């Protein structure tokens, strides 16, 4: 790989360059991105997860190892955030639904994939965040909201239908445009769950414009787009979005941030909660 520009984030080092990705020795090298994660965490096995998606709605991966991945470089690489912020949230939501629709389904049933998925976390594992928070005795999040989020999350985990490999953090910032292949997902966390789980992160973004998602009509419109296009269960998708919003606030606290009533995830949870009826 011939390295050009590099930059560093809090969690990783990114290098842009070119490489003969097919081993042919051709001078027509491809533009690539090398991402090296500094320490084990959510992104440590992102290369393996991307390889499982096999380019279906995702950026292509050329090589990967724990903590490192060599990727196709997307050009121009602009995200869906700009579209949503510029009055085209409906179009952006449609693109996100299209990306989900491209994710493989029949391959999820293959023996090879099932064996690999044994190493991926399940949404049930992420439910432990509620237990950790309750054990701390912290009071930044109202305990009745935490209890409701945990109850809904665990109920959904226990009643999932056909769980498969999900991105785990699919939202506007993680979908980029490539002039050759269109809109593609990047940076999967990789989690096993039912497809209704996947839309939860979308309903919390883009965070720069909370008015796009902090109202009942906006939530219903977005979910209607997803459920119609992908034949999802509206009520389950809504319930997952509520429970995930509470869990997202818990994760923020675990990452060292202060959370109060102005927190966007908590505000979203409080908007969705009465929409759940008796379930919330």
Other Cβ atoms less than 10 A from the Cβ of 155: the count is 13
Three-state SS sequence of the chain = CEEEEEEECCCEEEEEEEECCCCCCCCCCEEEEEEEECCCCCCCCHHHHHHHHCCCCECCEEEEECCEEEEECCCEEEECHHHHHCCCHHHHHHHHHHHHHHCCCHHHHCHHHHHHHCCCCEHHHHCHHHHHHHHHCCCCCCHHHHHHHHHHHHHHHHCCCCCEEECCCCCHHHEEEECCCEEEECCCCCEEECHHHHHCCHHHCCCCCHHHCCCHHHHHHHHHHHHHHHCCCHHHHHHHHHHHHHHHHHHHHHCCCCCCCCCHHHHHHHHHHHHHHHHC
pLDDT tier at 43 (50, 70, 90 boundaries)?
confident
Mean per-residue pLDDT of the chain: 92
Compute, in degrees rounded to 10, the torsion defined by CA atoms 81, 212, 147, 199: -50
Domain limit, last residue, from 73, 101, 119:
73
Give residue 27's pLDDT.
53
Higher pLDDT, 42 or 118: 42
- Is the domain of 62 the same as that of 137? no
Write down the pLDDT at residue 20.
76
Q: Are residues 145 and 250 in the same domain?
A: yes
Domain that holds residue 6: 2-73
For 113, other C-beta atoms within 10 Å of its C-beta total 16
The reply to whether 130 and 239 lie within a common domain is yes
* Separation between Cα atoms, residue 144 and residue 125, nearest integer Å: 22
CATH code of 131's domain: 3.90.1200.10
Tens digits of per-residue pLDDT, 172-205?
999 999 999 999 999 999 999 999 999 999 999 9
Can you give the pTM of this predicted structure? 0.91
65 and 192 within one domain: no
83 and 154 part of one domain:
yes
- Give the integer Cα–Cα distance in Å for 246 and 105: 29
pLDDT at site 45: 87
Among 20, 40, 73, residue at a domain's last position: 73
Structural domain tally of the chain? Answer: 2
pLDDT of residue 107: 45
- Residue percentage of the chain with pLDDT more than 90: 78
Give the pLDDT score at 23.
Answer: 62
131 with 68, same domain?
no
- Considering the domain architecture, whether residues 178 and 232 belong to the same structural domain is answered as yes
Question: Could you tell me which of 96, 130, 133 has the C-alpha nearest to residue 237?
Answer: 96
Q: Is 146 in the same domain as 28?
A: no
Q: Which of 31, 50, 73 is a domain's end point?
A: 73
Statement to judge: residues 124 and 150 lie in one domain: yes
pLDDT of residue 28: 61
């Amino acid at each position: 790989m011939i390295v050009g520009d590099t930059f560093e984030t809090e969690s990783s080092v990114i290098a842009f360059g070119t490489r003969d990705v097919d081993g042919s020795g051709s001078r027509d090298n491809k533009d690539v991105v090398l991402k090296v994660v500094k320490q084990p965490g959510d992104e440590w096995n992102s290369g393996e997860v991307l390889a499982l998606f096999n380019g279906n709605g995702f950026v292509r991966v050329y090589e990967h190892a724990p903590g490192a991945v060599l990727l196709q470089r997307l050009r121009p690489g602009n995200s869906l955030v700009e579209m949503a912020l510029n009055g085209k949230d409906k179009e952006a939501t449609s693109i996100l639904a299209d990306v989900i629709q491209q994710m493989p389904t029949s391959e999820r049933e293959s023996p090879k994939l099932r064996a690999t998925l044994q190493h991926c976390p399940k949404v049930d594992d992420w439910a432990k965040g509620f237990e950790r928070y309750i054990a701390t005795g912290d009071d930044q999040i109202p305990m009745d909201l935490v209890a409701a989020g945990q109850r809904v999350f665990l109920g959904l985990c226990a009643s999932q239908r056909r769980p498969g490999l999900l991105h785990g953090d699919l939202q506007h910032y993680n979908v980029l445009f490539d002039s050759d292949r269109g809109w593609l997902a990047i940076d999967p966390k990789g989690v096993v769950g039912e497809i209704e789980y996947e839309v939860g992160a979308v309903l919390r973004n883009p965070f720069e414009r909370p008015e796009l998602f902090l109202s009942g009509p906006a939530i219903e419109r977005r979910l209607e787009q997803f459920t119609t296009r992908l034949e999802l269960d509206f009520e389950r998708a809504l319930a997952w979005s509520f429970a995930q919003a509470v869990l997202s606030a818990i994760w923020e606290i675990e990452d060292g941030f202060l959370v109060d009533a102005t927190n966007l995830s908590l505000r979203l949870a409080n908007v969705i909660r009465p929409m759940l009826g008796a379930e919330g």
